[in-house]
A and B are shown apart, each in its own frame.
Chain A
Amino acid sequence: MDHSVYIPKLAKIIQVKEEVGGARAIKTFRTVFANGQGFDHRCGQCAMLSVFGKGESMISISSSPLVKDYLQFSILKMGRVTTALHEMEVGDLIGIRGPYGNGFPIDDWKGKNLLFIGGGIGLAPIWSVLQTALTRKEEYGNLTLIYGARTSKDIVFKEELADLKKKMTVFLSIDVAEPDWEEFVGFVPQNVSDKKPGPANTIAITCGPPIMIKFVIKALKDLSFEDEQIYTTVENKMKCGIGKCGRCNIGLHYVCKDGPVYSWAELKKLPQEY
């Protein structure tokens, strides 16, 4: 039989970048597989990261599949495993198994405008699509990002975003006014309503806290987006990643295997179990 589906491959951390400090710290890690044998992933897929002795945690892969040199993960410090990950340094070994999940149907989106809407750490799952679309800009229409965080300090990928502004439309927001902030102040859904992106030939991809997603969808619906034009990702507690351990299901869907990417048309038919 093949190597067990539960055995992670060893990977070395080659870069650690602190995105956000404080109580809700976020760090971005880049890893390479120890023996060179990696895997190909699709945009929006996840991987199960291991810190041996602590356990595993399902994290979305934020690097584009077009990048072959490393895998990138942006991780919010939340529990036992992610706290241990935050304590790791360049050169440390972790385990990675995957990739898991369905990923975004980006091939279906060719020729369309892509509207990315993210909040907080929610930029990470859509970052891989965004980067892929940016690399293959000629294949897609207009690219727009609407992204917000609680405060300017909570914004992830700060340098990348500054760079991104030169290449595509980027609207940023923070929840509460700050002295030096020149962009939108308010919640992400409000920024969406404010910027009024048009639904014509557009796919909206949103990820962030559940409450944000809920109101972003409402805002998009108000702007006449169809359910099929809206994509989001969901997360649930996971252990196996392969649809067997039984805890991440929403109705008969296992998020680890059948998700995490859903169009709103699909998701709204499923029970509210996330």
Chain B
Amino acid sequence: MAEEFEPKIVAFLCKWCSSAGSDLAGVSRMEYPPNVVPIQVMCSGSVSPLYIFSAFNKGADGVLVSGCHPGDCHYIKGNYYARRRIHLVKKLLEFVGLEPERFQMSWVSAAEGTKYTQVIKEFVNELKPLGPQNKLRRNP
């Protein structure tokens, strides 16, 4: 039998909440799929849409942007900007026919190690049936 497809996820995690949340999951030895390439960013609001397009271009099967819950942003408003911008990016990607499951956003606080693992588990499960992302990737 063919080996099961393991999707590669690029996750842009904000330093103050989501990245800390993923650390918490790590130090608490919570189990979750090893499919994520985490990239720590200062704020979800600092994630340029170009990073997202580029991740798909370089072969990501899924991309996650994760930040602090509304009201909790270290920079007060960064995640609100992100919410708008990411929403537009999501609509654009879907418009050209990319599977909506491939691009996700989440709010994960520093205390939500469990939620982080949950987000990743669900993401991986949703990506598996889709197979590799070849639409936007360079040299598929």
A and B touch in the complex (CB under 8 A): no
Q: Which residues of A contact B (CB under 8 A)?
A: none
